[in-house]
Amino acid sequence: MTDNADNALNALYPVLAALPAAANQRLQQHAQVVSVPAGAVVFDELQACQGFPFVLSGSLRVVKAAPNGRELPLYRVTPGETCIISSACLLGHAPYNARGIAETETRLLLLPNADFQALLGEAAFRDFIFQLFSERIADLMQLIEEVAFRKLDQRLAALLLGKGQRLHVTHQQLADELGSVREIVSRLLKGFAEQGLVALSREQVDILDPAGLRRVAAG
Amino acid sequence: MTDNADNALNALYPVLAALPAAANQRLQQHAQVVSVPAGAVVFDELQACQGFPFVLSGSLRVVKAAPNGRELPLYRVTPGETCIISSACLLGHAPYNARGIAETETRLLLLPNADFQALLGEAAFRDFIFQLFSERIADLMQLIEEVAFRKLDQRLAALLLGKGQRLHVTHQQLADELGSVREIVSRLLKGFAEQGLVALSREQVDILDPAGLRRVAAG
DNA sequence: GGGCGTCTGTAACCTTGGTTACACAGCCTG
DNA sequence: CAGGCTGTGTAACCAAGGTTACAGACGCCC
């Protein structure tokens, strides 16, 4: 690991900076910086988990892939966060059960399995992982609720909210985010537009009536 | 806590038996045995998490409840296991995001929040929780895959498998297990019967062709 | 045996969301 | 300007699953 990456790492993951010298040294000796281009598949279903990734820059999108090629986004991993799927795989000695894709050009610090396990011996690090575990669990529960019970218009309305008044996205991108297809999103957006909730233009959605959208989202 | 419960607890949760004397004493002083009847709601969505439950006997069914009253089972907690939702809530100081129901008459040992946190100071206990966390994550991933991508006939076929050759269940119970409704399960079972995969009778499903069912389940 | 509650069978109908198949608009580039 | 690419609009059709509404079957208990 370069000094440069080391600095970035400690800034992003304060918990590492606080580690005892020995642990830190071990990390520096064995961790490996890799850079992956946008769109690259960093890990995939059924694949054995090779190491634990810290995200230095860029971001990972973790998705569940359907047999027919569609994908349902589970969560994102941004710098300073970690990937619970990776933790779970390493801890449970199980293969991955989701796919990790670099959203943009992404730099990762890959920590080999054995060193990750050793790092878990440090109380501070263990607590850090624990904390992220429990946050993600809540996210996953939310996701289960959405896919099992919510209709697509509700989910779309929710997706549009909380990202400012003007969104620069294509219908396809929205569809991907929902695990659906472009035509349906277009259809629903048209409905929203007819109700005066949004205004549509190329690669752009303007929120006209946030309260109305919230009402739709709430079902 | 009674000596009796103490013995049961240590037998079911070996990790507790191995705790230092001080921790064990604290647990015995503050933990409280409660007994709940079958069907009782032990915790519910949006409710603050009062304590951490160890299951002594019986079992909990943890479900996500839909606005319309239907429920999707997430997982079960049997004696010797723990409830990650509870862990996640206590760790993240968030309210519950699912409902826990006693499947049968169930005895729980409830550990207050503060004592749970203290117990996490013990490396062995922390590892125990960690391990269960990662196992459950895999389950939840599996569930997401099912509800998002699998059709109901595939899920039903999978549900029927691996429980022996003759099942004593009502269609309603199967529907509940899938988060669906009775009529659809009846319709699908009829289809299975017509293909010679199963034989149906009152409160009973006989598996005639496991391999065929497995094929259906695989899609 | 008669009445009641539970379980099952089944048909008609509806909603949601996905699929297929285009048309067209805007824009960039050779 | 032509040609091509990307994004959007839209309609017809389809499949899955849920809803409604019954009817009959079986078992149990009075």
> Alpha-carbon dihedral of residues B83, A138, B128, A82, nearest 10 degrees?
170
Residue B58, pLDDT > 90, answer yes
Using the Cβ of A66 and the Cβ atoms of chain B, whether some distance falls under 8 Å is answered with yes
Q: Mean pLDDT, to the nearest integer, of B190-216?
A: 96
B133 and B187, same domain (yes or no): no
Residue B15, pLDDT > 70, answer yes
Using pLDDT thresholds of 50, 70 and 90, give the confidence band for residue A179.
very high
Residue A6, pLDDT > 80, answer no
Q: Mean pLDDT, to the nearest integer, of B58-64?
A: 96
B158 and B123, same domain (yes or no): no
Please give the pLDDT value at position B120: 87
Residue B3, pLDDT > 70, answer no
Q: Mean pLDDT, to the nearest integer, of A66-88?
A: 93
Give the 3-state secondary structure of residue B151: coil
Q: What are phi and psi of A94, to 5 degrees?
A: -110, 160
Q: Domain boundary at A148, A175, A203, which?
A: A148
Please give the pLDDT value at position B150: 96
B53 and B127, same domain (yes or no): yes
Task: Kindly report the nearest CA distance between residue B110 and chain A, in angstroms.
Answer: 20
Q: Mean pLDDT, to the nearest integer, of B91-101?
A: 91
The Cα–Cα gap between A145 and A15 comes to 32
Instruction: Report the phi/psi class of residue B196: left, alpha or beta, with left for phi > 0 and alpha for psi in -120 to 50.
Output: left
Mean pLDDT of chain A: 92
A94 and A201, same domain (yes or no): no
Q: Mean pLDDT, to the nearest integer, of B83-107?
A: 92
Please give the pLDDT value at position A180: 97
Q: Which nucleotides of C are covered by protein (CB under 7 A)?
A: 6-12, 16-21, 26-27
Chain B positions touching A134 (Cβ under 8 A) are 87-89, 91-92, 94
Chain B residue at shortest CA distance from A179: B148
Containing domain of residue B45, as a range? 3-148
Higher pLDDT, B4 or B158: B158
Residue B5, pLDDT > 70, answer no
Q: Domain boundary at B123, B148, B173, which?
A: B148
Provide the greatest CA pair distance for chain B: 63
Number of domains in chain B: 2
Please give the pLDDT value at position B121: 85
Using the Cβ of B147 and the Cβ atoms of chain A, whether some distance falls under 8 Å is answered with yes
Residue A4, pLDDT > 80, answer no
Residue A119, pLDDT > 80, answer yes
Using pLDDT thresholds of 50, 70 and 90, give the confidence band for residue B130.
confident
Report the candidate in A79, A136, A44 with the shortest Cα–Cα distance to residue B134: A136
Asked if B99 and B43 count as a contact pair (C-beta separation under 8 A), the reply is yes
Strand C contacted by B186 CB (< 7 A): yes
Residue B64 has its nearest CB partner, among A89, A134, A144, at: A144
Instruction: Report the phi/psi class of residue A49: left, alpha or beta, with left for phi > 0 and alpha for psi in -120 to 50.
Output: beta
Which nucleotide's C1' atom has the smallest distance to the CA of A172?
A: D7
Task: Kindly report the nearest CA distance between residue A91 and chain B, in angstroms.
Answer: 7
CATH code for the domain of B195: 1.10.10.10
Please give the pLDDT value at position B2: 65
Chain A residue at shortest CA distance from B136: A88
Please give the pLDDT value at position B1: 61
Q: Mean pLDDT, to the nearest integer, of A42-52?
A: 92
CATH code for the domain of B48: 2.60.120.10
Task: State the DSSP H helix or E strand holding residue A183, giving kind and residue range, or none if neither.
Answer: helix A182-194
pTM assigned to the model: 0.92
Least confident of B1-15, B105-119, B171-185: B1-15
Residue A2, pLDDT > 80, answer no
Please give the pLDDT value at position B212: 96
Q: Specify which of A26-40, A117-131, B173-187 reaches the highest per-range mean pLDDT.
A: B173-187
Count of CB atoms situated within 10 Å of the CB of A20: 10
The Cα–Cα gap between A177 and A157 comes to 12
Using the Cβ of A118 and the Cβ atoms of chain B, whether some distance falls under 8 Å is answered with no
A160 and A180, same domain (yes or no): yes
Chain A residue at shortest CA distance from B123: A123
The C-alpha R_g of chain B, in whole angstroms, comes to 20
Using pLDDT thresholds of 50, 70 and 90, give the confidence band for residue A1.
low
> Alpha-carbon dihedral of residues A145, A148, A154, A158, nearest 10 degrees?
40
Q: Which nucleotides of D are covered by protein (CB under 7 A)?
A: 6-12, 16-21, 26-27
Which nucleotide's C1' atom has the smallest distance to the CA of A202?
A: D7
Residues 6 or more apart in contact with residue A45 via CB below 8 angstroms: A65, A95, A96, A97, A98, A99
A98 and A10, same domain (yes or no): yes
| Distance (Å) of CA B154 to CA B137, B157, B160, B178, B218 | 22, 5, 10, 11, 7
Strand C contacted by B200 CB (< 7 A): yes
Report the candidate in B90, B92, B56, B60 with the shortest Cα–Cα distance to residue B75: B60
Residue B130 has its nearest CB partner, among A91, A138, A179, at: A91
Residue B62, pLDDT > 90, answer yes
Q: Mean pLDDT, to the nearest integer, of A102-113?
A: 93
Task: Kindly report the nearest CA distance between residue B198 and chain A, in angstroms.
Answer: 27
